[in-house]
Structure 1
Amino acid sequence: MRKSSFPYFQAALIMNIIELNHYPVKSMRGVAINVADFSPIGLRHDREWLIAQANGAFITARKLPILLHFHTETHAGSLKMIAPDGDSLSVYSKDYTEIAPVQVWQDTFTAYSGDTAADEWLSAKLGQAVRLFWLGERSTRLLPPDTPLSFADGAPFLLTNAASLADLNAILGEHFDMNRFRANVVLDGAAAWAEEKWRRIRIGTTEFELFKPCKRCVLTTIDVHTLEKHPQQQPLAYLAKHRGAVFGMNMRTRQSGVLRVGDSIEIIE
């Protein structure tokens, strides 16, 4: 048995994954999965498609909350998008061959455009001119020094803790779902907010570095079911005042492998 360097009372906890989620199109609804292949860029199919303005500048549900009501399905080489009205459209990565510049936050890099019919369909559904971009087989965007990055905000993986959310809900006297926080990996079995003190964890045989707390934005104030914003801007208002706006931890790894719901988590550092 490996010996953890973390204090014994934390190492004795039994922690495991209770949710895995990927988000094939940035800002569209997440997809819960039981098993996920992963590599240094993140979970397979996570944030590999992007909706942007004509010039490639990214668009998210912060400005267009209706994106949260679009469902997606991924298949080999294809993506199916299902609009809130039930209309659907499938696109194929093989049709995305035109190299084009895109921008996510301060990062400008190249991705692929191609299916103008998809652009027109999305523009009609969203009420403004947009384009759909595919990341490609390899990303040209890097998280320094050398970690490939998808269309995610700033990290390949986002980890959250069920106990932290339970504590937050108890403090605020309201019920906020974890889906507001758009995590890839949700764990159970740890003390509330303990994840903010970890630097390295092991899931299966893979080590992950928790390299940065995740600072939250206005998206957490939007009810994903009704699309209504919280009148007191919760839970962001509390997090900003008392926790530096942090909820969850950004992670990265140099390895590839498979994650499964139920996998145990070990604190290394």
Structure 2
Amino acid sequence: MHLTQLRIYPVKSFAGLDVVSAEVLPWGLAGDRRWGVIDANGVPVTAREVNAMLGLSAEPLADGDLLLSGGAGDPLRVDVPTDAPAIAVGFSRQGTALAAGDEADDWLSARLGASVRLVWQPDPRARTVNPNNGGLPGERLTLADAGPLLLTSEASLTQLDAWTDDATPPLDMRRFRPNVVVDGDTPFAEEQWTHVELGGVSFRVASHCDRCVMTTIDPDTLTRGKEPIKTLARHRRRDGKTWFGVRLVPLTTGTISVGDAASAR
């Protein structure tokens, strides 16, 4: 088994960015979901409500700044707001974040058609992994919903495609927003794992991932459909939810790369 894809999501709910290698930190991959979008009241805004967010991209730059792109108009370089005031945000277990500034807010608001703000999480050590999602004491988290990393497998996606009707095109793995993808040969074997090793870095499987409406948004057209929730509900439904992928918590740190050997137990 090998690691076949690595993706980070510099801004929560934006399109992902494929990378060849990534540094694993205690709270996830470097550059992953340290930025988020909120409304005027501090409530998080995600692609679940605003599909257009998936049409925007963000790239971490070598100096730590962020390059926003997508939609009409020029890209925007955003400085990390290390000296900005802390403002109240509604991300669970994250009381405040730092404001990116008016220029970034205006850029985003113009593209999303609503008044929004861009914020940055200064210290992931301040946010814990929810015990309801398998978190243990001392485990930390970025602005990701429920776990430091999400792992999916190509074997599971192949099985899901086989379950869908013939009129449904093959599903794109981007719908599931994984950080790491492995090949493997047994569909949904990942749900039996307790530990994973990728390129010499060790992870604990914290929980299985229940899937939301965001998976029904086509990552290219940004239109909503019924898949994959329709098929998952027929074959992968339990406890009133549908399931695909597992959440990982790093046990060690290091660098992982596409092509690295993957093992599990």
Fold-level similarity (TM above 0.5): yes
**Distance of aligned partners of 1:139 and 1:101 in 2 relative to their CA distance in 1, 3 Å threshold:** farther
1:247 corresponds to which letter in structure 2? F
Question: Partner amino acid for 1:136?
Answer: P
Cα distance in 1 for partners of 2:25, 2:221 equals: 34
Conserved 8 A contact 1:96-1:115: no
Shift in Å at residue 85 of structure 1?
A: 2.1
- Of residues 112, 117, 142, the one that matches 1:131 is 117
In structure 1, C-alpha distance between the alignment counterparts of 2:103 and 2:125, rounded to whole Å:
24
From 237, 261, 265, the counterpart of 1:264: 261
My pick for the range that moved more, 71-80 or 21-30, is: 71-80
How far apart are residue 240 of structure 1 and its match? 2.7
SS at structure 2 position matched to 1:152: coil
Equivalent pair of 1:96/1:114 in contact (CA under 8 Å): no
The Cα of 1:139 is off from its aligned counterpart by 4.0
2:146 corresponds to which residue?
154
Map 1:71-220 onto structure 2 (within 5 A). 71-75=57-61, 76-94=63-81, 97-104=84-91, 106-143=92-129, 144=135, 145-172=137-164, 173=166, 174=168, 175-220=170-215
How big is the shift at 1:84? 2.0
Q: Please list the CA deviations of residues 88-141 of structure 1 after superposition, one character each: whole Å capped at 9, or x if unmatched.
A: 11111145521122222x434221114122112211221111010001144421
Any conservation in 1 of the 2:7–2:19 contact (CA below 8 Å)? yes
CA offsets 1:139-164 (integer angstroms, 9 cap, x no match) = 42111422111110110000000011
Q: What CA distance in whole angstroms lies between the structure 2 residues aligned with 1:96 and 1:57?
A: 22
Letter of the 1:181 partner, please give it.
Answer: F
Which of 234, 255, 259 is residue 241 of structure 1 equivalent to? 234
Q: 1:224 to 1:247 in 2, by over 3 A?
A: same
Task: Supply the distance in 1 between the matched residues of 2:10 and 2:42 (Cα, whole angstroms).
Answer: 18
8 Å Cα contact 2:82/2:122 also seen in 1:
no
- Which residue of structure 2 aligns with residue 60 of structure 1? 46
Quickly say closer, same or farther: Cα 1:218–1:138, change in 2 above 3 A: closer
Retained in 1: the 8 A contact 2:79–2:100?
no
Counterpart-to-counterpart distance in 2, 1:196 and 1:163: 12
Distance 1:205 1:21 in 2: 18
Identity of aligned pairs, percent?
Answer: 38
Which 4+ residue blocks in structure 1 deviate beyond 4 angstroms? none
Any idea what SS the aligned residue of 1:93 has?
A: coil
Aligned with 2:19 (options 30, 33, 39): 33
Going from structure 1 to structure 2, the CA distance change for 1:47 and 1:147 (only over 3 Å counts) comes to: same
Q: Distance in 2 between matches of 1:33 and 1:72?
A: 13
- Pairs aligned (count): 251
Give the one of 218, 221, 227 matched to 1:223: 218
Q: Which amino acid aligns with 2:153?
A: N
Work out the CA distance in 2 between the residues paired with 1:109 and 1:240.
35
C-alpha distance in 2, partners of 1:126/1:199? 40
Structure 1: segments with no counterpart, 5+ residues: 1-14
CA contact (8 A) 2:163 2:231 kept: no
Question: How big is the shift at 1:83?
Answer: 2.1
TM-score by length of 2: 0.90
Please state whether the residue corresponding to 1:147 is helix, strand or coil: coil
Is the CA contact 1:109–1:140 (under 8 Å) kept in the aligned structure 2? no
CA contact (8 A) 2:124 2:141 kept: no
Q: How far apart are the structure 2 equivalents of 1:113 and 1:47?
A: 15
Q: Give unpaired runs (5+ residues) of structure 2.
A: 130-134
